[in-house]
Amino acid sequence: MDPLVAIVGRPNVGKSTLFNRLAQTRSAIVEELSGVTRDRLYSRAYWNGREFVLIDTGGIVPGTTDKIEESIKMQAEAAIQESDVILLVVDVRAGVHTMDIEIAQLLRKTKKPVILVANKAETMDLHVQAGEFYRLGLGEPVAVSAAHGMNTGDLLDAIVEKMPPPGEGGELSEDENLIRIAFAGRPNVGKSSLVNYLLGQERMIVTDIPGTTRDAVDSLKVVGEDKYVFIDTAGIRRKSRITESVEYYSVLRSFRAIERSDIVVMVIDASEEVTEQDKRIAGYGHEKGKGMVIAVNKWDLIEKDDRTHKKFLENLRRELAFLSYAPVVFVSALTGQRAQKVLDLAKEVSEKRKTRIPTSILNNLIREAVAVSPPPSTRGRVLKIYYATQVGEEPPAFVMFVNDPKLVHFSYKRYLENQLRDAFDFTGTPMRIFFRERKGS
């Protein structure tokens, strides 16, 4: 599970600029006005072989009575609560502010690793001036200039040093028979009801109020030699509909639950059209290489004729075209109709993710595929595939050595993937295909 690093501080100290610098993005709005960043922003960052998630927060104003500032403060506190490492950003030029002192007191109570970032230190004099922030009781400040990128490498070193060791988890993480299943989807599609039915107990609170499940909850189910951990995630809303800090917190926990799962059961409401939010959630699981199962819930409430099933499935496949490999099951969490099929499919997909193709068979297949449909030429040059090998499982990953990776058109890559899927059963699992230039080709 990727560590979370929260960037906090009072307004207008350069938090968003630092976020953009560390994430190498321009996704946060940067203005010389306090209170511009109201929502939490998330971005992946990499340093020295470690991946982590940066969280940009709005400025904390302790003791505020302003409703907007109070909302921003609550959202920042939610980020602090969930994070593994906290960056407290202060303004060297402005010196120690009373709000800096109050925020530092708040962070000390969390008992979490805190790195004090003295921002806007463009000169040596300002580097020396950063020493006055020792009085915050958070150790030695790291003097940086986020705007100019000065000393941010040292800051990233400090972040990686404070992060939990890679692969931290409970004892269950070492159990080869364990399958972690995240039930994901928008609020009120029936995720908790489905988990409850599979568990045979009221493990989750189930109501018709969207967003009842605020946190990600794990439940263990043992079937023979198989062990399943069900992760019932909080309903993920569109950003414009999230108003409470606790719901921001739930969004973060939901994506973390997907990250630590093996299989994602994407729960769709049969009574509604596939939404952009459905695509976003499913796309997150796909991009993370998780096994995917689509469960269309509340199917018992739909008025049907002889074309209803086919029409719904065609629309679903069209809207979620990138999940063409994922099996679909129509269920009713209320009556239990086909609910057990979800578990059967999750187990099947878990096994398919571990598929390994012998190198000789793989290369024979690729040669035949190229013979049947040769690659198109690009500006007079033709792609040549010399050799292929499988380099990973869960999800399956392949490397193909070619004369020039730039000659690989996305449509031909898709053709090769389809050939692999036709020859081998990769039900429910995404596939990674990489192209590398063969030296001396």
Please tell me whether residues 255 and 313 are part of one structural domain: yes
Please tell me whether residues 192 and 244 are part of one structural domain: yes
Query: Any idea what the CATH number is for the domain that residue 416 is in?
Result: 3.30.300.20
Report the predicted TM-score, pTM, of the whole model to 2 decimal places. 0.61
Please tell me whether residues 177 and 317 are part of one structural domain: yes
Sign of the dihedral through C-alpha 21, 25, 31, 34: negative
pLDDT band at 215 (very low <50, low <70, confident <90, very high): very low
Q: How buried is 387 (Cβ within 10 angstroms: 0-12 exposed, 13-18 middle, 19+ buried)?
A: middle
Query: Any idea what the CATH number is for the domain that residue 112 is in?
Result: 3.40.50.300
Query: CA 226 to CA 223: how far, in whole Å?
Result: 5
Number of domains in the chain: 3
Segment 290-306 shows an average pLDDT of 91
Residue 171, pLDDT > 70, answer: no
**Is the separation of the CB atoms in 238 and 187 below 8 Å?**
no
**Is the separation of the CB atoms in 7 and 55 below 8 Å?**
yes
User: Is 22 strand, coil or helix?
Assistant: helix
Please tell me whether residues 154 and 66 are part of one structural domain: yes
Query: CA 118 to CA 83: how far, in whole Å?
Result: 20
Please tell me whether residues 242 and 140 are part of one structural domain: no
Segment 387-398 shows an average pLDDT of 94
Among 8, 225, 215, 1, smallest CA distance to 110 is for 8
Segment 48-65 shows an average pLDDT of 77
Please tell me whether residues 321 and 430 are part of one structural domain: no
Please tell me whether residues 59 and 137 are part of one structural domain: yes
Give the domain-ending residue among 352, 380, 414: 352
Give the domain-ending residue among 134, 162, 190: 162
The residue segments making up the domain with residue 303 are 171-352
- Does 12 or 250 have the greater pLDDT score? 12
CA 147 to chain centre: 28
C-alpha dihedral (67, 72, 74, 76), degrees to nearest 10: -170
Please tell me whether residues 107 and 189 are part of one structural domain: no
